Structures are given as C-alpha cells and as structure tokens.
Amino acid sequence: MPHVYGNDFGAPERAPELTDEAFAALLADDGRVEPRDPMPEGYRRTLVRQIAQHAHSEIIGMQPEGNWISRAPSLRRKAILMAKVQDEAGHGLYLYAAAETLGVDRADLLDQLHTGRQKYSSIFNYPTLSWADVGAIGWLVDGAAIVNQVPLCRCSYGPYARAMVRVCKEESFHQRQGFEILHTLSHGTPAQKAMAQDAVDRYWWPSLMMFGPPDDDSPNSAQSMAWGIKRFSNDDLRQRFVDMTVPQAEVLGLTLPDPEIRWNEERGHYDFGTVDFTELFEVIKGNGPCNRDRMAHRVAAHEDGAWVREAADAYAAKQVARTEGAA
Amino acid sequence: MSRGWPLWEVFVRSRRGLSHTHVGSLHAPDAEMALRNARDVYTRRQEGVSLWVVPSAEIVASDPGEREAFFDPADDKVYRHPTFYDVPEGVEHL
C-alpha cells in the first residue's frame, strides 16, 4: 500500500532529495514547487536561508521606524506609522510561516538571528536621526524592497511566492506614505526642506546597496536563477530602481546625492555613480552604525516577552485540563 | 514549552457568498489565540468576514509522490466535459 496521505503543513519530515536534472525537468513542467515535493537539498537550504533572512529583515526593520512612533508630528502620522510597523511584523510572520514549510522551526530561526548565525538586511543598521528619515525609509528603502520583491511573487517555491504577493500588496502603501512625508517637508519651510534633503542624502547610497553586490561579484546568483528563486540580476534590479526614482526625486524637488546621474539616451536608462560596496561588506560584517543596538534590542524584546509566552502556555494547559476534567 | 506552540492553518472567507480560502499559517497556544492572531496577521485590511483556524496536524493531504496514480481515474474520461460532444450547426441553447 503506497503512502497516499500526509500533511502539507509544518512538514517535520523533510521532502526527499532530488537530483538537479530531475528538478530542472520538474521546474520546466510545473514551474512551481510545493512543500512536500522532492527537491535538491541545495535548493531547500538556499530557500531556508533566503526566506529566514527576509523574515529577520522585516522584524528588525520595525526598529528604525518604531523609534519615531512616540514623536510623530501628528496623530495622523502616528496612526499611519503604527500601521506600517505592524505590517512589518505581519510580513515577518508570513515569511517565517513560509520557511517552516521547508521543515525548519521558527524558534530555531530566531535563535540563529539572535546568535548572529543568520543575517538581516544591512539597511536596518543605519540610524533614523530625524522625522524625515521615516519618509526616506518609506520612499527609498521600501521602494527598493518592492523592486526586489515583485519578481519574488513568481518565485518557484509556492509558499514563498504566495507570501510575497501579500507583502507586495501591503508595501505600496508604505512607499506612498514615505513619499508623502518627504513631499510635505520639501514644500514646507526651508528648514523642513533641508531636513528632507539630509535624509535623502544619507539613505540614497545604502538603498542602492540593498540590491546586493554587483553581478560579477555575486557567486550564488546563477544558481538561484536556474532554480527560479531569482528572476533578475542584482544590477538589473538596481538600474530599475534608479530609473523609477530619479523622476520621483524631481517631483519632490530634492536632489539625489550622485553628480553622475544623467539620462543616457542610447541605453534608455539613467547612468549613475559607483556604489561603495566596501561599506556594504563592513555593515554586513557587523560594523554598521547600529548593528549592536539592533541586535541587543531584538534579544531584549524576545527575553522580555518570555512571560507572555509562558502565560499563554499556562492558560492553554489549564483550559485543556478543565475540558478533560469535565468530560 | 513555547517552542512547541502548535501550528494552525488559517482560512478566510473574504465576503459572504464565497468559500473560505487558505491564506497561511501561524503558531498559537490554543484555538482562541489562533483566531485572534489570525485576525491580526491575515485580515488587517478587511480581507475577511469569517475566519477558520485548523490545527495543521489534523489536515490529511494526498501524497504528492502518488499524484499521478491517485488522480488517474479522471484521466481518461473526457466525456465528462461538454466540449467532448459534437453539436450540429445551428443548434442553440445546448
């Protein structure tokens, strides 16, 4: 009797392994992989690492903006910012759930974040020094994230792709509210406009770094493309972001801090200056402005919340005991 | 113990007249918390008028490895589709 049933969720038993050739045939045939399908171990490991890193980024990403909730300039801005930060928590949860379909445990992923064995996006290691930074993060950081994430909605792994569809739908409000903050500031007093310009000056280059190292220095890209995890190269996505953003900056009346930005008629794209990737690698290594703060805050929040998790456990156990006692 | 919070699958009815659709999963210690968390995680933008949460471990699923054999009975029954039949020219409302 063949094994005709099982469970698609939370898969404690890992999907059987599959050779690269057989997997390529499956991808060509169906295009999508679901949790209990056989898959190459490398595919599974790459996805766990990428989805976990993505989930961690959403959770750590709550900090730079959370920093401004209590000091938002109006009740309207405060309500919007709280909704946005709550969305980031939600995005983290969608993604942890997607990772768990690959046979890993969320608690283990959090452990790996807290001990530095898994990374999060380096952009969140930059400080939010002024209210305008909240605008710059929405416009540039979320804008770059959207460019990165839209192709992931067609990623070969079903649960990841479905999570990304939800995330992308919600991100567009994030970007617009950021743009609106900067637009309001840049059409306000000279001091407000200067504050907006300062935020854009500090966030522009780190936003370009979000697309990762240049193509000729990105060793895993080719494999991820073959597996249908990645659809476009880092440099292509970076170019797409620049092309989108330059005209928006003109509407804002703000300058992007790169004198080399100019329209290239021949290429049909904007040319731009060289990104300083040594800075990116330093931040990834842990030497960004806020790495230690972000991690300390995350670990403290987790530990301080332990009593809530324990109380919920105790309550659930008590309810079970009562139901059983009554029966 | 909290490492072991069970997994729940979440189904949302987006509006009356439509069936519940699977939207994702979450961890919760009991059914009530699962419902409350599902509301906060999956219906922040009025995506639903009704929620189901089901312990993931209770879901029985067909085996993807047995897909072909399992769904084989429907493979050779094209006559179950209306397009299988020839309809003479000029016949309407059929």
Residue range(s) defining the domain that contains residue A295:
20-319
Among B30, B41, B69, beta carbon nearest to A316: B30
Domain containing residue B45: CATH number: 3.10.20.520
Question: B-side interface with A, Cβ within 8 Å?
Answer: 1-3, 5, 7, 9, 23-30, 33, 40-41, 44-45, 56-57, 59-66, 69-70
DSSP letters spanning B51-73: EEEEEGGG--EE-GGGHHHHHGG
With CA atoms as reference, report the closest residue to A127 among A278, A298, A291.
Answer: A291
Residue A156 lies in a domain: yes
Interchain pair B66, A4: CB under 8 A: yes
Per-residue tens of pLDDT for chain B, all 94 residues: 346 789 999 999 999 999 999 999 999 999 999 999 999 999 999 999 999 999 988 888 888 778 888 999 888 899 999 999 999 999 998 8
Domain containing residue A161: CATH number: 1.20.1260.10
Interchain pair B26, A97: CB under 8 A: yes
Interchain pair B25, A9: CB under 8 A: yes
Interchain pair B26, A93: CB under 8 A: yes
Residue A5 lies in a domain: no
Residue B71 lies in a domain: no
Residue A7 lies in a domain: no
Confidence at residue A143, expressed as pLDDT on a 0 to 100 scale: 96
Query: Which chain A residues contact residue B60 at CB under 8 A?
Result: 5-7
Residue B81 lies in a domain: no
Residue B18 lies in a domain: yes
pLDDT, tens only, A115-143: 999 999 999 999 999 999 999 999 999 99
Q: Dihedral, CA atoms, B47, A181, A131, A61, nearest 10 degrees?
A: 40
Q: What angle do helix axes A190-209 and A142-149 make, rounded to 10 degrees?
A: 30
Domain total for chain A? Answer: 1
Residue B57 lies in a domain: yes
pLDDT, tens only, A89-102: 999 999 999 999 99
Our CA-based measurement puts residue B64 at a distance from the nearest CA of chain A, in whole angstroms, of 6
Helix (H) and strand (E) counts in chain B = 2, 4
Q: Which of A1, A4, A172, A324 to mutate to test the interface with B (most CBs of B within 10 A)?
A: A4
Per-residue tens of pLDDT for chain A, all 327 residues: 344 455 555 444 555 677 778 888 888 876 889 888 888 999 999 999 999 999 999 999 999 999 999 999 999 999 999 999 999 999 999 999 999 999 899 999 999 999 999 999 999 999 999 999 999 999 999 999 999 999 999 999 999 999 999 999 999 899 999 999 999 999 999 999 999 999 999 999 999 999 999 998 888 888 898 899 999 999 999 999 999 999 999 999 999 999 999 999 999 999 999 999 999 999 999 999 999 999 999 999 999 999 999 999 999 999 889 988 876
Residue A12 lies in a domain: no
Query: Which chain A residues contact residue B28 at CB under 8 A?
Result: 312
β-bridge pairing B7-13 and B21-27: antiparallel
Query: Which chain B residues contact residue A94 at CB under 8 A?
Result: 24, 41
Domain total for chain B? Answer: 1
Confidence at residue A220, expressed as pLDDT on a 0 to 100 scale: 81
Residue B77 lies in a domain: no
Residue B88 lies in a domain: no
Residue A154 lies in a domain: yes
Query: Which chain B residues contact residue A37 at CB under 8 A?
Result: 64
pTM recorded for the entire structure: 0.91
Residue range(s) defining the domain that contains residue B48:
7-62
Residue A56 lies in a domain: yes
Residue B49 lies in a domain: yes
